[in-house]
């Protein structure tokens, strides 16, 4: 029997974009009951580059910490485990996926859109009273990584889809399904499944363009769907930069699950410019 085409594509690219061993050990430890700060610190300290990046973020103006933080254990005490997970996931993702070569999107444009979606997803999750809002940040950050794989593996077909969809993300999604039989969301979900990320996160990414079909993750998928739409209205998304930006309306089904007050809607972009600028300046290398 032939291998599932999505798994086949992911298997053929994962050696290039596989995260470092420290990521797998960190991810396992953070999801293991009774793991201590010292356990996490000992794992992260095995990768000096990762330590340097984490401390760079923790000591940045974003956190506004008066006394310099110089150890991972101290960083955890100051910012908490959830923020540490976000930082390490962001650093590892940017470093890993920036190895994919594609002429269809500038890496800096891709990551601007990704971080913008992540920040908006976290804000929407808070507004929707989601218990663990940080998983929505990670889902927002990684929701489009499958695009990088498709752009790299199928550049001609992907450029055709980009041109025909002309900035309309939902049309882009349907054209992928028609041309390949699968979508960037399927690729991204399978890749992150192999990274060891939980099913709730990978299924959210799989459904972010069709958010209301899987009741198990419907609220998370609706939040990422809306955050992605808002991000595209705020900045250019992941398309060829010479194409015109086109704002999209979210799928109407999401309003069955998301209820925002007028005040929350008015404030959705509040502080976004500064938070996005901080994330870009700290986490995106200058050479991207």
pTM: 0.90
Question: Phi and psi dihedrals of 228, rounded to 5?
Answer: -65, -45
Tens-digit pLDDT profile for residues 198-217: 999 999 999 999 999 999 99
The pLDDT > 70 percentage for the chain reads: 92
At 8 the pLDDT is 92
Distance from CA of residue 9 to its chain's centroid? 20
Low-confidence spans in the chain with pLDDT less than 50: 1, 237-244
Q: Which domains does the chain have, with CATH numbers?
A: 5-283 (1.10.3210.10)
């Amino acid at each position: 029997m032939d291998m599932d085409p999505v798994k086949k594509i992911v298997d053929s690219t994962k050696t290039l974009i596989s995260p470092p061993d420290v990521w797998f050990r960190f991810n396992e430890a953070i999801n293991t009951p009774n793991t201590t700060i010292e356990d996490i610190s000992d794992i992260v300290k095995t990768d000096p580059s990762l330590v340097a990046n984490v401390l760079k973020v923790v000591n940045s103006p974003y956190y506004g910490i008066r006394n310099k933080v110089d150890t991972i254990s101290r960083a955890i005490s100051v910012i908490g485990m959830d923020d540490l997970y976000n930082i390490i996931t962001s650093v590892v993702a940017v470093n890993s996926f920036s190895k994919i070569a594609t002429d269809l999107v500038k890496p800096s444009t891709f990551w601007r859109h990704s971080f913008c979606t992540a920040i908006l997803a976290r804000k929407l999750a808070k507004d929707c009273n989601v218990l663990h809002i940080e998983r929505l940040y990670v889902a927002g950050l990684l929701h489009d990584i499958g695009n990088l794989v498709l752009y790299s593996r199928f550049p001609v077909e992907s450029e055709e889809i980009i041109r025909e969809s002309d900035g309309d993300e939902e049309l882009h999604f349907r054209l992928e399904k028609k041309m390949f039989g699968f979508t960037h969301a399927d690729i991204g979900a399978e890749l992150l499944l192999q990274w060891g990320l939980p099913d709730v996160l990978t299924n959210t990414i799989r459904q972010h363009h069709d958010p209301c079909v899987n009741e198990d993750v419907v609220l998370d998928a609706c939040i990422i769907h809306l955050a992605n739409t808002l991000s595209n209205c705020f900045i250019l998304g992941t398309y060829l930069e010479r194409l015109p930006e086109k704002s999209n309306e979210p799928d109407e089904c999401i309003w069955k699950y998301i209820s925002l007050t007028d005040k929350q809607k008015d404030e959705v972009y509040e502080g976004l410019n500064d938070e996005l600028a901080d994330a870009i300046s700290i986490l995106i290398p200058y050479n991207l």
